[in-house]
Amino acid sequence: MQKNAAFPLAQDGRYAFFFDVDGTLAAIQPRPEEVFIPEGVVTNLQRLAAISEGALALVSGRPMDELDALAAPLRVPLAGVHGAERRDPAGKTEKISLPETVTRELIVLLEQGVAAMPGTHLESKGMAFALHYRQAEHYQQAVLALAEEMVKRFPVLTLQPGKCVVELKPKGVNKGAAIAAFMQLPPFTGRTPVFIGDDLTDEAGFKAVNAMEGISVKVGEGETLAGLRLADVNAVYHWLEQILLQLNKDKTSSVRSQGYESFSSRI
């Protein structure tokens, strides 16, 4: 993990920005439906998207319709449900679906399992399912066991742990693959990828960005593949403001003279 690192500004400023949402652009709330992105942050994302000529995408475990609602009026390329559904820069959408028979049986089994664990919550995303236990953390091992049982029963699934959540999603779907796919398309092509995320689900994204010699940023504590770290959501907001100032500056000015703290001592 690199310490006391200022954001390395490329001479041409050609970045491709990828943001996780929950825990990165929006503070974690007791329930997923209570999460929101502050209006000022949405405005700054709009500005950053304009500066980067549209090379900005949200990469999240949430479905795309929820991402559009959270980020409104901003409309950018999306990777929802960890990349199981994507909207490319041209507005074309692609979705990976589970077999209908698997989905029907899985919902019944998961609903039965959650009903036996008061305080847990099943979130259906169509092609993926999230088992939340933020309000009943004593059920962590039981929730994990339920998810592992489903993966054994349905080999098309894979298990993805997160913060107080365990998700079941189609095999081969992850944020790294989604970012790599975006990087093959204009306006992302030829730019330096920057990915900011906070959870275990973001590690595949960090790995992919590192392989592309990009910039990976972990929000919060914990082991990570990311090369840089920000302390929390508020630090992300501050970083976003600072990077907008930096990218708007005359490119002939000295970057070294700016002296702001971006990733600084928050390592």
Strands ordered across the beta sheet of 165-170: 121-124, 129-132, 165-170, 157-162
Best CA proximity match to 102, nearest among 127, 79, 121, 119: 127
**φ, ψ dihedrals at 206, nearest 5°:** -60, -45
**DSSP H helices in the chain:** 39-51, 64-71, 100-115, 140-153, 175-182, 203-211, 233-248
Determine if residue 36 is left, alpha or beta; phi over 0 gives left, psi from -120 to 50 gives alpha, anything else beta. beta
Best CA proximity match to 142, nearest among 171, 169, 112: 112
Are 161 and 174 in contact by the 8 Å Cβ rule? The answer is: no
Burial classification of residue 82, based on how many CB atoms lie within 10 Å of its CB (0-12 exposed, 13-18 middle, 19 or more buried): buried
Six-digit token string for 202: 């973001």
Radius of gyration, CA atoms only, the chain: 19
Are 15 and 53 in contact by the 8 Å Cβ rule? The answer is: no
The residues carrying an active-site annotation are: 20
Q: Which residue has the tokens 């795309």?
A: 64
